[in-house]
Amino acid sequence: MSFAAGPKTQNQMEILLNAEVVAHRVHELAAQISADYRGRPLRLVGILKGAWMFLADLIRHMDLEDVSVDFLGVASYGRSTKSSGEARITKDLDQSIEGLDVLIVEDILDTGETFSYLQEILTARQPKSLKAVVLLDKPSRRTRPAQADYVGFTIPDEFVVGYGLDYAENYRQLPDVRVLRQEGKGEKG
Ligand code: IMP
Ligand code: MG
Protein backbone atom coordinates (compact mmCIF):
# COMPACT_ATOMS: atom_id res chain seq x y z
CA MET A 1 0.00 0.00 0.00
CA SER A 2 1.13 3.57 -0.44
CA PHE A 3 0.08 6.98 0.76
CA ALA A 4 -0.99 9.47 -1.88
CA ALA A 5 -0.47 12.59 0.20
CA GLY A 6 2.77 13.97 1.63
CA PRO A 7 3.95 13.43 5.20
CA LYS A 8 1.28 13.47 7.85
CA THR A 9 1.59 15.89 10.70
CA GLN A 10 2.95 14.42 13.91
CA ASN A 11 -0.32 14.68 15.81
CA GLN A 12 -2.07 12.49 13.22
CA MET A 13 0.01 9.62 14.50
CA GLU A 14 -0.59 7.80 17.73
CA ILE A 15 2.43 7.38 20.00
CA LEU A 16 3.17 3.72 20.65
CA LEU A 17 6.37 4.16 22.68
CA ASN A 18 7.23 7.59 23.99
CA ALA A 19 10.79 8.91 24.17
CA GLU A 20 11.14 8.22 27.91
CA VAL A 21 10.01 4.62 27.57
CA VAL A 22 12.39 4.07 24.65
CA ALA A 23 15.31 5.68 26.52
CA HIS A 24 14.69 3.55 29.60
CA ARG A 25 14.64 0.32 27.61
CA VAL A 26 17.73 1.30 25.60
CA HIS A 27 19.58 1.83 28.91
CA GLU A 28 18.52 -1.63 30.05
CA LEU A 29 19.67 -3.23 26.79
CA ALA A 30 23.01 -1.41 27.01
CA ALA A 31 23.51 -2.71 30.56
CA GLN A 32 22.64 -6.27 29.60
CA ILE A 33 24.91 -6.25 26.54
CA SER A 34 27.76 -4.70 28.54
CA ALA A 35 27.46 -7.46 31.15
CA ASP A 36 27.42 -10.17 28.48
CA TYR A 37 30.47 -8.85 26.61
CA ARG A 38 32.50 -7.72 29.64
CA GLY A 39 36.24 -7.96 28.91
CA ARG A 40 35.77 -8.80 25.22
CA PRO A 41 36.21 -6.49 22.24
CA LEU A 42 32.85 -5.94 20.53
CA ARG A 43 32.08 -4.83 16.99
CA LEU A 44 28.66 -3.25 16.55
CA VAL A 45 27.26 -3.52 13.04
CA GLY A 46 24.53 -0.94 12.60
CA ILE A 47 22.04 -1.58 9.83
CA LEU A 48 21.37 1.58 7.84
CA LYS A 49 19.43 3.48 7.77
CA GLY A 50 16.84 2.57 10.38
CA ALA A 51 19.21 1.70 13.26
CA TRP A 52 21.37 4.82 13.43
CA MET A 53 19.46 6.60 16.21
CA PHE A 54 19.09 3.42 18.26
CA LEU A 55 22.80 2.61 17.86
CA ALA A 56 23.82 6.14 18.87
CA ASP A 57 21.82 5.90 22.09
CA LEU A 58 22.77 2.29 22.81
CA ILE A 59 26.53 2.76 22.44
CA ARG A 60 26.75 5.80 24.68
CA HIS A 61 25.18 3.84 27.52
CA MET A 62 27.37 0.76 27.12
CA ASP A 63 30.05 0.25 29.69
CA LEU A 64 32.70 -1.57 27.66
CA GLU A 65 36.38 -0.78 27.14
CA ASP A 66 36.63 -1.94 23.58
CA VAL A 67 33.69 -1.22 21.28
CA SER A 68 33.95 -0.41 17.60
CA VAL A 69 31.29 0.45 15.04
CA ASP A 70 30.72 -0.30 11.42
CA PHE A 71 27.65 0.14 9.25
CA LEU A 72 25.95 -1.99 6.66
CA GLY A 73 23.36 -0.46 4.38
CA VAL A 74 20.46 -2.73 3.52
CA ALA A 75 17.33 -1.78 1.60
CA SER A 76 14.22 -3.88 1.76
CA TYR A 77 11.03 -1.87 1.53
CA GLY A 78 11.13 1.14 -0.76
CA ARG A 79 7.93 3.14 -0.88
CA SER A 80 5.70 0.57 0.70
CA THR A 81 4.67 -0.69 4.11
CA LYS A 82 4.85 -4.26 2.90
CA SER A 83 8.03 -6.24 2.73
CA SER A 84 9.14 -7.01 -0.80
CA GLY A 85 10.79 -10.10 0.62
CA GLU A 86 14.01 -8.97 -0.98
CA ALA A 87 16.99 -7.37 0.67
CA ARG A 88 20.07 -5.91 -0.96
CA ILE A 89 23.27 -4.25 0.24
CA THR A 90 23.41 -0.52 -0.43
CA LYS A 91 26.62 0.03 1.55
CA ASP A 92 29.03 -2.69 2.60
CA LEU A 93 31.03 -2.83 5.85
CA ASP A 94 34.29 -0.86 5.82
CA GLN A 95 36.20 -3.51 7.75
CA SER A 96 36.49 -7.26 8.01
CA ILE A 97 34.60 -8.95 10.86
CA GLU A 98 36.56 -12.20 10.66
CA GLY A 99 37.35 -13.54 14.15
CA LEU A 100 35.41 -10.77 15.93
CA ASP A 101 32.51 -10.81 18.36
CA VAL A 102 29.85 -9.07 16.29
CA LEU A 103 26.53 -7.64 17.38
CA ILE A 104 24.07 -6.64 14.66
CA VAL A 105 22.07 -3.55 15.64
CA GLU A 106 18.72 -3.46 13.82
CA ASP A 107 15.69 -1.23 14.10
CA ILE A 108 12.96 -3.82 13.64
CA LEU A 109 12.45 -7.50 13.02
CA ASP A 110 9.35 -7.91 10.89
CA THR A 111 8.98 -10.76 8.37
CA GLY A 112 12.51 -11.90 9.15
CA GLU A 113 13.60 -11.73 5.51
CA THR A 114 16.17 -8.96 6.04
CA PHE A 115 17.37 -10.55 9.25
CA SER A 116 17.89 -13.96 7.62
CA TYR A 117 19.76 -12.33 4.77
CA LEU A 118 22.01 -10.46 7.22
CA GLN A 119 22.75 -13.61 9.20
CA GLU A 120 23.65 -15.46 6.05
CA ILE A 121 26.01 -12.87 4.58
CA LEU A 122 27.67 -12.01 7.90
CA THR A 123 28.11 -15.64 9.00
CA ALA A 124 29.91 -16.26 5.69
CA ARG A 125 32.51 -13.68 6.80
CA GLN A 126 33.43 -15.89 9.75
CA PRO A 127 33.03 -13.74 12.86
CA LYS A 128 33.95 -15.39 16.16
CA SER A 129 30.36 -14.89 17.26
CA LEU A 130 27.29 -13.25 15.76
CA LYS A 131 24.36 -11.94 17.79
CA ALA A 132 21.71 -9.35 17.21
CA VAL A 133 19.87 -6.65 19.09
CA VAL A 134 16.65 -5.22 17.68
CA LEU A 135 14.73 -2.31 19.11
CA LEU A 136 11.37 -3.62 17.92
CA ASP A 137 10.02 -7.06 17.13
CA LYS A 138 6.79 -7.87 15.26
CA PRO A 139 6.74 -11.67 15.72
CA SER A 140 3.25 -12.03 14.20
CA ARG A 141 4.62 -11.09 10.76
CA ARG A 142 7.32 -13.76 10.32
CA THR A 143 7.56 -15.50 6.98
CA ARG A 144 10.67 -17.32 8.15
CA PRO A 145 12.05 -18.26 11.55
CA ALA A 146 14.15 -15.47 12.99
CA GLN A 147 14.91 -14.46 16.55
CA ALA A 148 17.07 -11.70 17.96
CA ASP A 149 19.25 -12.25 21.04
CA TYR A 150 18.15 -8.95 22.56
CA VAL A 151 14.75 -7.36 21.94
CA GLY A 152 13.72 -3.89 23.06
CA PHE A 153 9.96 -4.16 22.60
CA THR A 154 7.61 -6.73 21.14
CA ILE A 155 4.93 -4.79 19.26
CA PRO A 156 1.67 -5.63 17.46
CA ASP A 157 1.28 -5.77 13.70
CA GLU A 158 1.29 -2.03 13.00
CA PHE A 159 3.51 -0.01 10.71
CA VAL A 160 5.60 2.24 12.93
CA VAL A 161 7.80 5.25 12.29
CA GLY A 162 10.13 7.50 14.27
CA TYR A 163 13.32 6.97 16.29
CA GLY A 164 15.12 6.22 13.02
CA LEU A 165 12.35 4.24 11.34
CA ASP A 166 10.87 5.67 8.18
CA TYR A 167 8.03 5.52 5.78
CA ALA A 168 9.41 6.54 2.35
CA GLU A 169 12.31 8.33 4.12
CA ASN A 170 9.99 10.43 6.27
CA TYR A 171 9.58 10.58 10.06
CA ARG A 172 13.02 9.22 11.02
CA GLN A 173 13.60 12.34 13.16
CA LEU A 174 10.72 11.73 15.59
CA PRO A 175 11.99 11.08 19.14
CA ASP A 176 9.30 8.47 19.81
CA VAL A 177 7.81 5.47 18.00
CA ARG A 178 4.45 6.20 16.36
CA VAL A 179 1.88 4.19 14.46
CA LEU A 180 1.30 5.17 10.85
CA ARG A 181 -2.15 4.14 9.67
CA GLN A 182 -3.66 4.54 6.26
CA GLU A 183 -6.90 6.45 6.54
CA GLY A 184 -10.17 4.83 5.56
CA LYS A 185 -8.87 1.30 5.21
CA GLY A 186 -8.38 -1.54 7.59
CA GLU A 187 -5.50 -2.88 5.58
CA LYS A 188 -2.38 -3.86 7.47
CA GLY A 189 1.16 -3.06 6.32
P1 IMP B 1 11.80 -7.69 7.29
O2 IMP B 1 12.77 -8.07 6.23
O3 IMP B 1 10.39 -7.84 6.83
O4 IMP B 1 12.03 -8.34 8.63
O5 IMP B 1 11.90 -6.13 7.46
C6 IMP B 1 12.91 -5.52 8.14
C7 IMP B 1 13.10 -4.11 7.68
O8 IMP B 1 11.89 -3.54 7.14
C9 IMP B 1 13.49 -3.24 8.83
O10 IMP B 1 14.89 -3.17 8.95
C11 IMP B 1 12.85 -1.92 8.48
O12 IMP B 1 13.74 -1.13 7.73
C13 IMP B 1 11.66 -2.26 7.64
N14 IMP B 1 10.42 -2.29 8.43
C15 IMP B 1 9.71 -3.37 8.83
N16 IMP B 1 8.64 -3.02 9.55
C17 IMP B 1 8.67 -1.68 9.61
C18 IMP B 1 7.82 -0.69 10.26
O19 IMP B 1 6.81 -0.98 10.93
N20 IMP B 1 8.20 0.59 10.09
C21 IMP B 1 9.29 0.98 9.40
N22 IMP B 1 10.12 0.11 8.79
C23 IMP B 1 9.80 -1.21 8.90
MG1 MG C 1 13.25 1.14 6.27
**Which sequence spans correspond to the domains of the chain?**
19-159
pLDDT at 10: 58
| Alpha-carbon gap, residue 20 to 35, rounded angstroms | 23
pLDDT at 143: 92
pLDDT at 19: 98
Residue range 29-56, pLDDT digits in tens? 999 999 999 999 999 999 999 999 999 9
Residue range 55-107, pLDDT digits in tens? 999 999 999 999 999 999 998 755 556 655 678 899 999 999 999 999 999 99
pLDDT at 188: 37
Confidence bin at 2 (pLDDT 50/70/90): very low
Residue nearest to atom 5 of ligand 1 (CA): 110
Ligand 1 neighbours by CB, cut-off 6 Å:
50, 76-77, 83, 106-115, 159-161, 165
The candidate with the shortest Cα–Cα distance to 32, out of 105, 118, 133, is: 133
| Alpha-carbon gap, residue 89 to 74, rounded angstroms | 5
Return the exposure string of 97-122: e unless at least 16 CB atoms fall within 10 Å of the residue's CB, then b: beebbbbbbbbbbbbbbbbbbbeeeb
How close is the Cα of 49 to the center of ligand 2, in Å?
Answer: 7
How close is the Cα of 170 to the center of ligand 2, in Å?
Answer: 10
Q: Which ligand is nearest to the CA of 82?
A: 1
pLDDT at 85: 60
Domain 19-159 architecture:
3-Layer(aba) Sandwich (3.40)
pLDDT at 123: 98
**Mutation to probe ligand 1, out of 86, 114, 167, 182 (largest number of atoms < 8 A from CB):** 114
Residue nearest to atom 9 of ligand 1 (CA): 108
How close is the Cα of 108 to the center of ligand 2, in Å?
Answer: 9
